[in-house]
């Protein structure tokens, strides 16, 4: 079974391959009941957002054998949420990420080093 940090590394690697920007992998255990870790990244346009989401979904399925429980926002592409249970992915257009400032919700979260980024 892949843990949330390993799954985060797998997803982050896929995001890096699709040229996602401002990639943050946060350990949010004890800070929220939603998940244990969150990957937050940015894209330049809706098409890139969808490509990042597709790459993450494909890589997580291939490497860890896991599919997301749900994917929201892929049709629009300005904010895509992928729910893997204890691990979630947020893919934002840069302007939308700046507006919502999701990173600031957990200022004390431990930042996990992303291998290869």
Domain count within the chain? 1
Predicted pLDDT at 116:
62
pLDDT at position 35 is 92
Q: How far apart are CA 101 and CA 11, in angstroms?
A: 21
Say if 117 falls within a structural domain. no
- Domain for residue 116, yes or no? no
The residue among 40, 41, 39, 46 whose CA lies nearest residue 77 is 46
Local confidence pLDDT in tens for the 117 residues of the chain: 468 889 999 999 999 999 999 999 999 999 998 899 999 999 999 999 999 999 999 999 999 999 999 999 999 989 999 999 999 999 999 999 999 998 899 999 999 988 665
Query: What CATH number has the domain bearing residue 57?
Result: 3.30.460.10
For position 117, what pLDDT does the model report?
A: 58
């Amino acid at each position: 079974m892949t843990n949330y940090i390993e799954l985060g590394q797998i997803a982050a690697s896929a995001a890096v391959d699709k040229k996602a920007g401002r990639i943050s992998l946060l350990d949010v255990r004890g800070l929220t009941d939603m998940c244990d870790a969150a990957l937050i990244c940015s894209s330049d346009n809706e098409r890139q957002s969808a490509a990042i989401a597709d790459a993450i979904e494909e890589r997580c399925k291939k490497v860890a054998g896991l599919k997301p429980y749900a994917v929201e926002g892929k049709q629009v592409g300005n904010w895509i949420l992928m729910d893997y249970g204890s691990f979630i992915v947020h893919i934002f257009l840069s302007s939308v990420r700046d507006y919502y400032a999701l990173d600031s919700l957990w200022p004390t979260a431990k930042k996990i080093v992303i291998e290869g980024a």
